[in-house]
Amino acid sequence: MSPELEKCPRSLLVCEKSNFLNEKSQHDIHVSKHNFNYKISVLMPECGILPANISSVINSFSPYYLVRDLPVYELLEESFLESLVKKGNFNALSYNTKIDEDNSIALLSSGQLILSLDKDTYEQLGLEGRPSLYNHRKAMRFVVTLDLTDKSLTPGTKRYQRVLSSLKDRLPLRYDFFFTKYNTGADEDKTLHKLLSQYSYKEHKPAVSHHTLKEIPCPTLYPSDIQGKTLSCDPHHFLEWLGAVNLDISCENAADSFLSTYVCPEPQSSVSQALLCTVTGFISPENVFVLLQELRQYFDERRFTPWVSLTVHGFMDSRGEPQSMDSSKVVKTSTI
């Protein structure tokens, strides 16, 4: 095997066990901090057709926009700030940029504008930042974080004018952007489309696909696992199995297979059928949370299966949190 193929990137698996009814449950916090979602996978054992209420939630996911050659300073335009940014539920991410090589820009629904910059751009821009965690011995990349909801960045203040001047006059950065919003009103929509009308853009709807799996080996999970100190199936093995199912990799370790010797972890049982629903696009945390709530209600009636899984995949080079703009070539995946 080639030495390059033997090298595996560092991975980190954090497994947190909780109950939705627990007052200290962190699930809503995890969802809200997972800002940049590329794909959602829902796996429902012993289910052949997606329930109508869950299908309705998925089909109502917010559209997203790919905007071409947008100046960064437009994100600080006064009406845009007041109508969209400060009211939350709006996310933006520079398109086709790698944070270990390129300048990358992100706007979180919390109102934080994050610029991950190379050294030359950072010095030309003249805004205060900090060395990127991506750096090794010598600082070659920097991160500038601006809280656009802070009073010091209110249009008309000295700091606002200085930031606007840096992005508009000193170094007018322009990038392609992904935009998405959630549950905004008519005024907010009008402001957004006014901005979009000045540039080349295209509206997209998240793509939805369904795949019915037949007679698949499945790890055995028991409801008592939540109350116990250990899981019947190791979390890492279970996540690996979910990945295999998503990629349509056989888990039977067939003797004549030269592609995969992977086998479903023990304890296991056979599931007669399972439904895999996949949604891809630029998906807001709010949409993920609504889907999660609907999946919880799925168990209000007696079901043949004791569990379903919701897996959320982040974009390459971005983990959806301010500090994670420093992470190189990382895909953040959360499974609930």
pLDDT digits (tens, 9 = 90+) for 70-84: 999 999 999 899 888
Q: What is the pLDDT of residues 165-183, one digit of tens each?
A: 999 999 999 999 999 988 7
Give me the pLDDT at residue 57, please: 95
Cross-strand bridge partners of residue 71: 174
- φ and ψ of 39, to 5 deg: -145, 145
Domain ranges of the chain: 25-61+206-335, 64-204
Average pLDDT over residues 91-98: 90
| E strands in the chain | 37-45, 64-71, 90-94, 104-107, 112-118, 130-131, 141-147, 174-181, 201-204, 207-219, 268-283, 309-314, 333-335
For residues 31, 35, 41, 46, the Cα torsion angle rounded to the nearest 10 degrees is 20
Q: Quick one: which of 276, 241, 290, 326 has its CA closest to 50?
A: 276
Q: What is the pLDDT averaged over residues 194-218?
A: 92
Judged against a pLDDT cut of 60, whether residue 225 lies above it is answered with no
Q: How confident is the model at residue 277 (pLDDT cuts 50, 70, 90)?
A: very high
**What is the C-alpha separation between 203 and 181, in angstroms, rounded?**
12
Q: Quote the DSSP letter at residue 100.
A: T
Residues 6+ apart with CB under 8 A from 213: 245, 271, 273, 274, 275, 276
State the first-to-last Cα distance of the chain, in angstroms, to the nearest integer: 36
d(CA 218, CA 241): 8
